[in-house]
A = this chain, B = another copy of it.
Amino acid sequence: MPITGLTRVLAVIGDPIDGARAPEALSAVMADLDLDVVVIPVGIGSDGLAGFVKAARSWRNLDGILVTMPHKAAMCELVDHLSAQARLTGAVNLVRRAPDGELWGDQVDGEGFANSLTARGFALEGMHVVMLGAGGVARSIAFSLAAEGIASLTIVNRSRERALALVDDLDASFPALRSSVGDESAVATADLLVNATSVGSVVQPGKPLNDLTLIHPGMIVADVVAKPIETALLLAAADRGATTHGGDLMQKSQFASIVEVSQGRPGDRE
């Protein structure tokens, strides 16, 4: 579809932006859906973020901003409204621009992850989950899994302090959830293992789980890493008879939320 004066814009902001895959991947989705939306990379550092967000309020054919590293936390302070998910995770990865110029910050990482599992027919309710990591993506996933009614969540993280903070926040919003900080031995009895760290990606190769023999047949092993899709963790999980769930599926599911922006749906606002 040619870009004309009528084309709407979705900005992908980050620093650096060179390696961002979202512009190409999302452009393909927009084209598939026959949406007249161009997805552009915007390379802006932290010192320029507030200025760009201010300009976005006046930019009438801008549908929204997909926020990548390192701007997710800072974006919380710059938008006019925060969704529950963004407030809980302290991070915004999607900004919707309303026709009146107001900006609505949302966090669709966790929602995308949870939706990608339910789309495959997995019932999350009652599951015992082990999550590796307690960073921004991990927080978002934890709150979304909690909202889906998982029974327990064991958080395994290098920084115990950060993991404890997440448990506290989960307890405040989801008192019925049994959440705790633990170690990877919990994988032995888990229904779902989630790697929410970047270990296993091309930029940080390796295994986020030290003892791969804890993986057992019948469990689901999910990875947020999308490049490569077949991480060392998922290859080991497949070898051991577990069901694997790649980061590409989470990404595709997130796209649904992002595409909504360009279709003029309000999304999760409060």
Give A residues with C-beta under 8 Å from B: 2-7, 9, 12, 14, 16-24, 27-28, 38-45, 47-48, 51-52, 54-55, 57-62
Which of the listed residues A20, A22, A59 has the most CB atoms from chain B within 10 Å of its own CB? A59
B40 A23 Cβ-Cβ under 8 A: no
- A43-B61, A51-B54 given; name 14 further pairs at CB < 8 Å: A2-B27, A3-B40, A4-B41, A5-B17, A5-B24, A5-B41, A38-B40, A41-B61, A43-B60, A48-B57, A48-B58, A51-B51, A51-B57, A52-B58
Contacts of A9 in B (CB 8 A): 40-42
Query: How far is B14's CA from A61's CA once the two chains are assembled, in angstroms?
Result: 11
A23 B4 Cβ-Cβ under 8 A: yes
B23 A3 Cβ-Cβ under 8 A: yes
Q: Which chain B residue shows the least CB distance to A51? A: B55
A99 to chain B, nearest CB (A): 12
A61 B17 Cβ-Cβ under 8 A: yes
B24 A3 Cβ-Cβ under 8 A: yes
Query: How far is B3's CA from A263's CA once the two chains are assembled, in angstroms?
Result: 20
Known: A58-B48, A59-B48. A18 touches B40 (CB 8 A): no
A55 B55 Cβ-Cβ under 8 A: yes
A17 to chain B, nearest CB (A): 5
Query: How far is B42's CA from A39's CA once the two chains are assembled, in angstroms?
Result: 13
Query: How far is B54's CA from A57's CA once the two chains are assembled, in angstroms?
Result: 14
Contacts of A5 in B (CB 8 A): 12, 14, 16-24, 41
Query: How far is B2's CA from A28's CA once the two chains are assembled, in angstroms?
Result: 9
Q: Which chain B residue shows the least CB distance to A15? A: B60
The residue from B14, B27, B58 contacting A3, defined by CB atoms under 8 A apart: B27
Considering the complex of A and B, which 3 residue pairs feature the smallest CB-CB distances, nearest first? A48-B58, A5-B20, A55-B55
A42 B59 Cβ-Cβ under 8 A: yes
Query: How far is B61's CA from A106's CA once the two chains are assembled, in angstroms?
Result: 25
Contacts of A62 in B (CB 8 A): 42
A60 B44 Cβ-Cβ under 8 A: yes
Can you pick out 25 interface pairs between chain A and chain B where the beta carbons lie within 8 Å of each other? A2-B24, A2-B27, A3-B40, A4-B23, A4-B24, A5-B20, A5-B21, A5-B24, A5-B41, A7-B23, A9-B42, A17-B61, A38-B38, A38-B40, A43-B60, A44-B58, A47-B58, A48-B55, A48-B58, A51-B51, A51-B54, A51-B58, A52-B55, A54-B54, A55-B55
